[in-house]
A and B are shown apart, each in its own frame.
Chain A
Amino acid sequence: MEQAIEVKGVSKAFGESTAIKSIGFNVKKGEIFGLLGPSGSGKTTTIKILTGELEASAGQVQVLGQHPAEFGSSDFKSRIGLLSDNSALYERLTVYDNLKLFCRLYDVPLQRIDEILQEVNLQDARKQTVSKLSKGMKQRVLLAKALIHKPDLVFLDEPTSALDPQNAAHIHLGLQKLNDAGTTIFLTTHNMEEAALLCDRVAFLHLGEFQELDSPEALRYKYSTHAFHVETFSGERLVIDNGPASADRIRELVAAGEVKAMHTDNPTLGQIFLKVTGKELEQ
């Protein structure tokens, strides 16, 4: 499959300190790739290198088949979308006027404004001045701005961090629809549930190095003890190994009608992250 992003041995140093240490990964076209890690782990630096805001100190980068020297071209810019903590809106202008500017800069018909406002659940806010919007609403306008030109590849840095669960769910649906339409999504998030829900693959970045890179399911399987947790009606909580010897024990409990609940031991992405890095995730 064609690659949207190819990174080989990329490092980035700022003076004496190294933010990224020789990382390498590919993101396939049409994939949702999650980069997970605490603050200072190198997530933003990675996005900045991939969007041409920063130059890598070493290694090779290709995004949508282009080398960093071509990242400044109008053609490349019209194929990518970016929502980061550096994204901002014109506070004195209305939501509509903000999006109108970017429609015209990206050569997109103005009808797209209503379409994208519906996607981010902001149809009723089109005439509101940005300065009067809540933080969550501003975040949704920023997301609309990043997606207004239907980019081939979009970089989303914490897209739902300021949103309530209802609006976050709305955005998740919108991102899944966008991905179904063929857009590749590069996502950074602290929200492990969000990563598990949306991402085809995730990478754990810690102190500038990749600790793990695989699908959420594969990671959960890898870090599972594969034991069964059984809760009986008498209140007992049993941990039974997954193996031929345990089959009789489980059969006995089921036959006796004592099993109240039974599940396998699959850790969450958050638990895996803690195990891999030994570091708390930022909330």
Chain B
Amino acid sequence: MSTRRISAIFEKDLKDLLKNPMLLIPILIPVILALTFDRVTRTPEFPPAAAYIIIGGLFAVVTSGTILSMMSEEKEKKTLRGLIGSPASLLDIVIGKSMVTGIATAASLIVSALIVGIGTFLNVKTLAALILLFLFFLLLGVSMALFSKSTAATTGLLMPFSFLFGFTPMIGALNIVPEDGIAGRALGQFPVMQALELHQGGSWTSLGVMAVWTAGAALIAYLCFRKAMKDG
């Protein structure tokens, strides 16, 4: 791993992002969502389920969406081949490209948390959960970008995955699937639901479940990267 190469990729991505307003718009979506929910909910404390709809949506739209757009554009325009062909390692590329996404996610998350009440998020368990959520959605975005054939196709992939993984609390809230059925119980194991459980006083096991999801996403991302290294 080379910090010089990571910072070179980061600097390039930051310049590229600032010249691409389309990628900056999603950062505002969770903030707008938080403001709307804040106006609608009239309780003194922001309901955790509503907060995690915003947080889940934020990771899906900002984290997965940003890395997905950046990586799929690199793949489609064949610039990824240039990075892969350079002395930069797979880890240098992934970390370098993740840093801009990390900044975008952090900016959106901090502003949204300030709106919904940042106090409830400032504990070790919740912060660890947020880090795991970031890694999971980042790797999910990388996998989708490397798996899809074109930038247009990534949109088709992002929509269902965002809904399923990002807006899982909303699926429960809307009673789309029965809570005590197989599908409902399976959805309960999804990363955002585990983060919500942890937030509401759940055990460290939730963190373990989230770590398994993240490890699975890392494996899929690695396999997709290996394939991309061969295909260009």
Contacts and interface: CB of A to CB of B under 8 A. Distances in A.
Interface string B51-84: 0000000000000000000000000011101110
B223 to A, nearest CB: 16
A90 B12 contact: yes
Contacts of B149: none
Contacts of B77: 88, 91
A92 B19 contact: yes
B15 A97 contact: yes
B9 A101 contact: yes
Interface stretch (B37-45, B86-94, B159-167, B181-189): B86-94
Contacts of A86: 78, 81, 232
B8 interface: yes
A102 B86 contact: yes
B82 A145 contact: yes
Contacts of A240: none
Contacts of B230: 53-54
B4 interface: yes
Contacts of A145: 82
Nearest to A80: B85
Contacts of B82: 87-88, 102, 145
A89 B80 CA distance: 10
B79 A106 contact: no
A107 B24 CA distance: 31
A78 B81 CA distance: 15
Contacts of B12: 90, 93, 97, 101
B8 A90 contact: no
Interface string A35-50: 0000000000000000
A237 interface: no
B77 to A, nearest CB: 5
Contact of A77 (B20, B81, B85): B85
B161 to A, nearest CB: 27
Contacts of B81: 86-88
Nearest to A97: B15
A92 B20 contact: yes
Contacts of A105: 5, 8-9, 83, 86-88
Given A54-B230, A82-B85, A90-B16, 6 more contacts: A75-B87, A88-B77, A88-B78, A92-B15, A93-B19, A106-B86
